[in-house]
């Protein structure tokens, strides 16, 4: 009888130990799953903000590129207005970049894409144009829009002669960067949902 009691106690003890081990393993798996879920949720929020910023920036780049292609020596007021609107929109977007875009770099590295399309160099070229437009706007903020348009056209004509192709290429490079980043993010989420 003692053997049966001892065997029963040992069997119960082994069962309790095995159950404890299974519970610990299950808790670890559950914790990892919950952690992955939290990280995924956070990444999703960050990516949604960034993609919204990227899309608005693409629209602004297309507007700027179209206006620069439409630019002629006669200083079409509609073209000048498009350039001015694109520059104002770009200023707003770049002011929001820190809050809408910077956190994505915590989760993702896009340096390979930026190198591939000469991201820094092309952004410098675009920034020169945006700075030029801002300087003209600041200098003549109190004058008539026609005078602003005239000075902008003179400055653009000088820049166009020097670097119109560089600027078009720079805008294209930024568009390619944004498009490839979007593709990379969408691919990751499709893979995650499989």
Tens digit of each residue's pLDDT (9 = 90 or more) over 19-64: 999 999 999 999 999 998 999 899 999 999 999 999 999 898 888 8
Number of structural domains in the chain: 1
Question: Does 103 fall in a domain?
Answer: yes
Query: Which range marks the domain in which residue 54 is found?
Result: 49-193
Instruction: Identify whether 40 is part of a domain.
Output: no
150 is a domain residue: yes
Number of residues in the chain:
194
Q: What is the pTM of this model?
A: 0.70
Only one residue has tokens 């006669």, namely 74
Please give the Cα distance from 50 to 57 (Å, whole number).
10
Walking along the chain (194 residues) 10 residues at a time, the average pLDDT comes out as 82 91 96 92 92 91 81 70 82 88 91 92 83 68 64 67 66 92 89 76
12 in a structural domain: no
DSSP label at residue 71 = -
What gap in Å lies between CA 68 and CA 70, rounded to an integer?
5
Q: Which residue has the tokens 């499709």?
A: 190
Q: Within a domain: residue 55?
A: yes
Report helix, strand or coil for 142. Answer: coil
Secondary structure letter of residue 72 according to DSSP: -
**Helical axes 119-139 vs 77-101, angle rounded to 10°:** 120
* Residue 46 to residue 100: CA distance in whole angstroms: 8
Extract the tokens encoding 153: 């056209």
Name every residue whose Cβ is closer than 8 Å to that of residue 78 and which is 6 or more positions away in sequence. Answer: 70
| H/E run at residue 75 | none
Residue 37 lies in a domain: no
Q: Give whole-number Cα distances, 162 to 67, 106, 166, in Å.
A: 17, 39, 9
High-pLDDT (> 70) share of the chain, %: 84
Task: Give SS3 for 50.
Answer: helix
Domain assignment present for residue 1? The answer is no
Whether 83 is covered by a domain: the verdict is yes
């Amino acid at each position: 009888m003692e053997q049966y009691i001892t065997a029963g106690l040992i069997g119960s003890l082994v069962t309790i130990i095995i159950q404890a081990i299974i519970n610990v393993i299950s808790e670890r798996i559950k914790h990892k799953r919950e952690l992955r879920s939290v990280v995924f949720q956070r990444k999703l929020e960050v990516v949604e903000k960034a993609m919204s910023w990227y899309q608005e920036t693409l629209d602004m780049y297309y507007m700027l590129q179209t206006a620069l292609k439409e630019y002629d020596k006669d200083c079409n007021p509609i073209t000048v207005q498009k350039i001015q609107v694109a520059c104002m929109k770009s200023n707003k977007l770049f002011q929001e970049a820190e809050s809408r875009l910077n956190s994505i770099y915590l989760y993702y590295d896009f340096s390979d894409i930026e190198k591939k399309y000469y991201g820094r160099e092309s952004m410098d070229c675009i920034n020169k144009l945006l700075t030029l437009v801002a300087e003209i706007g600041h200098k003549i903020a109190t004058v008539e829009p026609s005078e602003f348009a005239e000075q902008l056209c003179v400055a653009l004509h000088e820049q166009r002669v020097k670097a119109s192709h560089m600027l078009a290429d720079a805008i294209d490079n930024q568009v390619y960067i944004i498009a490839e980043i979007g593709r990379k993010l969408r691919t990751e989420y499709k893979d995650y949902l499989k």
